[in-house]
Amino acid sequence: MTLPPTIRVNARISFPSLVNTQGPVTIAKNNGAYSFGFTITAFGTVNPPVSSYNTTFVLGWDSVNQIFVKIPLSNLGIGNTRVQRSVTATPIVIVNTDQVINCNINVAAACTLPTAASRNGTPLTFVDIGAQATAHNITLTASGGDLINGNATFVMTANRQVVTLVPANDGVNAGWSIE
């Protein structure tokens, strides 16, 4: 069903003949037909505090389902508020909230990554914070048929090395790319 671009009101009661609007939502009357509009430029610019990123939303349009959706700023990775965790033992086990893994492990370490699809676009960053990777490599292994830049594993071999893995899942391709 296609909706008309204007809405016509046929009512036996009097409807206001004068329409005054301002702000982001507009209403106009032309020859008895009312039209409604939306002007994004009428909004002010606000930088919300980081503490409200979970409760401040942006409006998005889902072109497949033809609906508007609200998205919390925290889901967009805005504010550089990445969750960090220190690990000192192997194997490194990734949990859903992990974003930055600070490794300080004095033996060869291993980590089996979750599937890229399970990360919902949230990257994982591994940091050799303890400067141990030259003597004690950190091996990251893809799982579930995923690859890391086309390989089953990625090995961190340099002290203080940092690697960020970005999950890719576009419905056709899945895996991890190195940023």
* Closest C-alpha to 109, from 74, 148, 157: 157
Dump pLDDT digits (tens) for 58-83.
888 888 888 888 888 777 766 656 78
Least confident range from 14-28, 51-65, 142-156: namely: 14-28
The overall pTM is greater than 0.75: no
Please, what are the domains in the chain? 7-41 (no CATH), 51-75 (no CATH), 82-178 (2.60.120.640)
What number of other Cβ atoms are within 10 A of residue 160's Cβ?
13
**At a CB cut-off of 8 Å and minimum separation 6, what does 31 contact?**
none
Q: What percent of the chain has pLDDT over 90?
A: 43
Are 126 and 140 contacting, i.e. CB atoms less than 8 angstroms apart?
A: yes
